[in-house]
Amino acid sequence: MKCCEAYGAALSAFVDGELDEQERGELLAHVEHCPNCRDALSELMILHTMFEELPELDAPDGFAERVLDRVHAEERAKKRSRRAWPRVLAACFALVVISAAALKILPAMTSKSDSAANEAADNSSAMDDAAGGAANDGYSYTYAAVQKDSALSDEDFLYKGVPEDSTADRSADADDDYAVITLDLPEAADFLREHGMAVYVEADDSVSYLVVPETAHELSEALPLDEEEKAALAAAEELVIVEVAKAEEAPAENNAAEEEGNT
């Protein structure tokens, strides 16, 4: 969980498109093998899509005036607190003066009682030394017994050894890759960008997007795709990678011919 907590801010930044290429690659490599972060990323992308579809609302009437009134009230409260500081400082100064006077009077009153207390302390220290010798003997014996018990428990642990299942393979999620759906329609890239889907990787002839199931289902119905492509998108139940082919650029000669024809 500590590892996943370290990626919490990165997941949000990924959905908002704030990560560079290296950070995005490190995050996606972690998400491929971490089901917890994968579910969290799916939820964040769904929320991001929902927020983009919400209509913009205007502030209610009088909202700005109420905010300004609140700001002015807080400023007046701060001015009152500044005026109260001189009174507080005067009270502190009076307290210091009284404390200094008390420190001059108290030593004279307590000197007599201190001498009597010192005599009683000397008598009690002699008795404590006598009792301390016997207590130290008992402490030494107890400490030696604790050391012996600790050594025996360490030997028992080494004799028993490490359990065999502790070396079990924990890489069960190593093969949990995303399903890849390939689309030949370049217009699908515009649809995915409008719905807030993040770019997974970009090649020379295609762009791959990390797509949530809800957007995949909408894409299968929104554009004229092949039946196989529609079926694959409609069957998505978790995050998938949708690889969209880029539009082919027209040769320069054809563009020049079209311009001449227009003139």
Q: What is the pLDDT of residue 65?
A: 79
In angstroms, what CA-CA distances link 23 with 3, 37, 45, 160, 177?
Answer: 15, 15, 18, 45, 19
Do residues 245 and 80 lie in contact, with contact meaning Cβ atoms separated by under 8 Å? Answer: no
Number of Cβ atoms within 10 Å of the Cβ of 137: 10
- φ/ψ of 102, rounded to 5, equals -65, -35
d(CA 41, CA 236): 16
Residue ranges per structural domain of the chain? 2-55+177-248, 62-117
Tokens of 187: 């217009």
pLDDT, mean of each 10-residue run, the chain (263 residues): 68 84 85 85 83 74 80 76 66 77 65 60 58 49 48 46 40 56 90 87 89 90 89 90 83 56 57
Per-residue pLDDT at 82: 62
Structure tokens belonging to residue 173? 């999620």
User: Can you give the pLDDT at residue 15?
Assistant: 82
Give the residue from 169, 216, 205, 173 showing the smallest Cα distance to 29: 173
- Token pair for residue 46? 């769904």
62: left (phi over 0), alpha (psi -120 to 50) or beta: left
Q: Using an 8 Å Cβ cutoff, are 247 and 183 in contact?
A: no
What is the reported pLDDT for 105? 67
Q: In the structure encoding, which two tokens stand for residue 68, read together? A: 């300004």
Strands, DSSP E only, in the chain?
179-183, 198-202, 206-211, 240-245
Q: What letter represents residue 230's amino acid?
A: K
State the number of CA atoms in the 13 A half-sphere of 199 facing the CB. 14
Q: Which two tokens stand for residue 31?
A: 């998400």
Chain centroid to Cα 199, Å, comes to: 23
Give the pLDDT of residue 143.
46
Contacting residues for 15 by C-beta, under 8 A, at least 6 apart: 41, 44, 45, 48, 196, 198
Q: H or E element: which one contains 243?
A: strand 240-245
Radius of gyration of the chain (CA): 38
Alpha carbon of residue 5 to chain centroid: 5
Within its chain, how far is the Cα of 197 from the centroid? 22
